[in-house]
Structure 1
Amino acid sequence: MQARHTGPAHSPTSSAPSGTSCPVEAIAAAYLSQTSGDLALALRCAITDALVDLLEAERRTRERSRLISRGFVRGRLDDTGDAL
């Protein structure tokens, strides 16, 4: 298995070929440059990085949800109707 790349080595705007203004093209060019033009490897690296970012975003969402839920439980009313 190939080593995981953490993303484009250069900023997308600095490594974009001249005439490219689309961020997608700049990112694709950066991955291709990082993988020495290996299309399959560049695609795998881009997908891996996207999945890692997605999993991290989901983890953060779960953490926020857990903290919000805990806040609601702390502020709930007890059985007598009085606040805790």
Structure 2
Amino acid sequence: MDIRLTEAEAIALHYYRAAHRDGWTALVQAIADALADLDAADQHAIEQARLVSHGYARARLNGWRWWP
């Protein structure tokens, strides 16, 4: 019988094995990694918004308009 894991199950199994079969440690590490990824994504979005905002303001100062 061939058992196929979902992506979530495969990730959980990886964390479980990496934590030497300690379920609590695996859970905490998975959550910590997820929170770190969310924080990085938030920082990236903030930086992108800042760059777009500065580009728009710079273009307006140079007399360029993107609308008709």
Alignment RMSD (CA, Å): 1.7
CA contact (8 A) 1:31 1:45 kept: yes
Which has the larger share of helix?
Answer: 2
Deviation, 1:77, is: 5.2
Q: Which residue does the alignment assign to 2:13?
A: 29
Equivalent position of 1:49 in the other structure: 33
Give the structure 2 partner of residue 8 of structure 1: none
Instruction: Summarize deviations over 1:19-52 as a string: whole Å, max 9, x none.
Output: 1330111001000000011111000000000000
Length, aligned pairs only: 63
Q: 1:59 aligns with which of 29, 43, 66?
A: 43
Consecutive unaligned residues of structure 2, counting only runs of 5 or more, are none
Question: What's the TM-score, normalizing by structure 2?
Answer: 0.83
Gaps of at least 5 residues in structure 1 are 1-17
Percent identical pairs in the alignment equals 38
Q: Is the 8 A contact 1:32 1:39 kept in 2?
A: yes
TM-score by length of 1: 0.68
Higher RCO (C-alpha 8 Å, min separation 6): 1
